[in-house]
């Protein structure tokens, strides 16, 4: 995919500034970027954070809460979002704890799909390891996902939205912990898988918004080049037996439905019927319908699969099944999203970047991550070969098989003590 590359603002090292970033302790040195608005939100924590009792996190941490906070939304206004905040059981170092952000993979776009509502779904293993190693952990739900008002759609895979969800959660978490008399030291980094891998690459690009000392990014099978993924999946299904086609195409339709739902945040006139043929558009719309009917990722994918199965059995072929419209990727809002708004690392990032990628990954194929890494290097981002870690993993094992290494990476980039 030929990507439009934004111009790089050249900044001198003489522009290094020291800012409070929500507290006066520790390392809060950052380099401002004229194109990135700094977080100057007053009183960023909304109300009193609620206890988070799922996944055994309360036993693994001193504080285990769901925090509602203010962030800069994708439409340019201040909105409310939610994040999980956990503090270690070990005493803080003299200069305070560093913060690790965990950015989750795709769960859906409806509010009940937020990790703060349905749980961490196995990711608590890594979070508990980070807590035991001496890090505060902040895990945003992302803009519009679990937000208290239930009024805003989640801008699914929008890089800037995800980045601001992260930066503003870090600022708010520091504010909250300072109010409890707990010290953080101004250093932070971000780790994420799949959608979260894309999100933390966005955080690397926009990290100056937090006005803190950003130490690096660990992106695991990061989503990118979405148009290539969609087109490649379609191509891979051609000529295959119906059941193989269904297993390939249902995930594509699920992601397309979530993308469409997310685009409606900035494009309220966009309809599912603009992207999907009838009656498949009704399945897609269940991604964002009322709470009792809406579907998180796994349920939505099952609905697409079931409809294809029924059609295939009734017609003895999948040919002619009404899926997406042939030209949906040329719809202006969809095209802009696929080529620009969802694509990470379009600008030079100067902090360390580590990428994990599996050769057997069918969700985020290695070929698209190769393109992502090459494109990032082309605009000046340093990703040494040692930091592009490729193995015989799939989309799940690229994460689960490397948990210990990821914690080691965090400690190298940002020692806890």
Task: Give the CATH number of domain 16-225+344-413; options: 3.40.50.1820, 3.40.462.20, 3.40.50.300, 3.20.20.140.
Answer: 3.40.50.1820
| Residue 85: closest CA among 211, 23, 177, 212 | 177
Enumerate residue ranges in the chain where pLDDT < 70: 1-28, 289-293
The SS3 assignment for 23 reads: coil
pLDDT in tens, 340-393: 999 999 999 999 999 999 999 999 999 999 999 999 999 999 999 999 999 999
Question: Pick from 43, 75, 57, 42: which is nearest to 138 by CA?
Answer: 57
d(CA 21, CA 30): 10
Greatest Cα pair distance in the chain: 70
Specify the pLDDT at position 20.
38
Cross-strand partners of 68:
46, 82
- In this prediction, residue 28 carries a pLDDT of 60
Element of type H or E holding 401: none
Report pLDDT for 310: 98
Ordered by start, the domain boundaries in the chain are 16-225+344-413, 226-337
**In whole numbers, what is the pLDDT of the chain averaged over residues?**
92
Distance CA 173, CA 169 (A): 6
**pTM above 0.85?**
yes
Given this model, what pLDDT does residue 289 score? 67
pLDDT of 147 reads: 83
Please, what sign has the CA dihedral across residues 112, 117, 119, 124?
Answer: positive
Residues 6+ apart with CB under 8 A from 184: 23, 25, 26, 92, 96, 97, 98, 99, 136, 173, 174, 177, 178
Of all helices (H) and strands (E), which one includes residue 30?
Answer: strand 29-30
Tell me if residue 61 falls in helix, strand or coil: coil
pLDDT at 387: 99
Residue 343: predicted pLDDT: 99
Model pLDDT, residue 10: 25
How many helical (H) and strand (E) elements, i.e. helices and strands, does the chain have?
14, 11
Burial of 235 from C-beta contacts in 10 A (0-12 / 13-18 / 19+): exposed
CB-neighbour burial class of residue 295 (10 A; exposed 0-12, middle 13-18, buried 19+): buried
DSSP secondary structure string for all residues of 126-175? HHHHHHHTT-EEEEE--TTSS-TTS-S---TT-HHHHHHHHHHHHHHHHH
Residue 32 pLDDT: 85
């Amino acid at each position: 995919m030929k990507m439009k590359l934004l111009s790089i603002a050249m900044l001198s090292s003489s522009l290094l500034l020291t800012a409070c970033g929500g507290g006066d302790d520790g390392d809060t040195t950052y380099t401002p970027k004229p194109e990135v608005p700094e977080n100057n939100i007053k009183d960023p924590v909304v109300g009193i954070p609620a206890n988070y009792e799922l996944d055994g996190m309360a036993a693994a941490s001193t504080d285990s809460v769901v925090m509602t906070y203010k962030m800069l939304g994708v439409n340019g206004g201040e909105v409310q979002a939610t994040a999980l905040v956990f503090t270690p059981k070990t005493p803080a170092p003299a200069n305070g704890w560093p913060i690790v952000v965990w950015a989750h993979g795709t769960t859906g776009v409806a509010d009940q799909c937020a990790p703060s509502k349905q749980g961490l779904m196995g990711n608590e293993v890594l979070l508990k390891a980070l807590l035991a190693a001496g890090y505060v952990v902040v895990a945003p739900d992302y803009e519009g996902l679990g937000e208290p008002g239930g009024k805003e759609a989640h801008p699914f895979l929008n890089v800037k939205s995800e980045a601001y969800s992260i930066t503003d959660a870090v600022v708010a978490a520091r504010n909250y912990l300072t109010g409890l008399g707990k010290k953080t030291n101004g250093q932070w980094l971000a780790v994420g898988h799949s959608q979260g891998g894309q999100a933390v690459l966005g955080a690397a690009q926009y990290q100056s918004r937090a006005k803190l000392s950003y130490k690096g990014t660990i992106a695991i099978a990061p989503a990118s080049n979405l148009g290539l993924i969609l087109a490649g999946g379609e191509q891979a299904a051609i000529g295959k037996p119906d059941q193989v086609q269904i297993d390939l195409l249902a995930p594509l339709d699920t992601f397309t439905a979530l993308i469409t739902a997310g685009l409606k945040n900035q494009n309220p006139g966009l309809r599912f019927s603009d992207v999907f043929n009838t009656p498949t558009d009704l399945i897609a719309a269940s991604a964002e319908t009322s709470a009792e009917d809406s579907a998180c990722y796994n349920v939505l994918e099952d609905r697409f699969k079931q409809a294809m199965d029924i059609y295939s059995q009734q017609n003895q072929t999948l040919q002619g099944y009404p899926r997406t419209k042939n030209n949906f990727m040329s719809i202006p809002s969809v095209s802009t999203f696929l080529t620009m708004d969802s694509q990470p690392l379009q600008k030079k990032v100067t902090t360390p970047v580590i990428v994990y990628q599996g050769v057997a990954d069918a969700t985020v194929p290695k070929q698209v991550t190769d393109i992502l890494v090459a494109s990032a290097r082309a605009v000046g981002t340093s990703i040494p070969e040692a930091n592009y870690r490729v193995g015989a993993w799939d989309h799940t094992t690229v994460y689960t098989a490397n948990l210990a290494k990821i914690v080691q990476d965090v400690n190298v980039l940002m020692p806890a003590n």
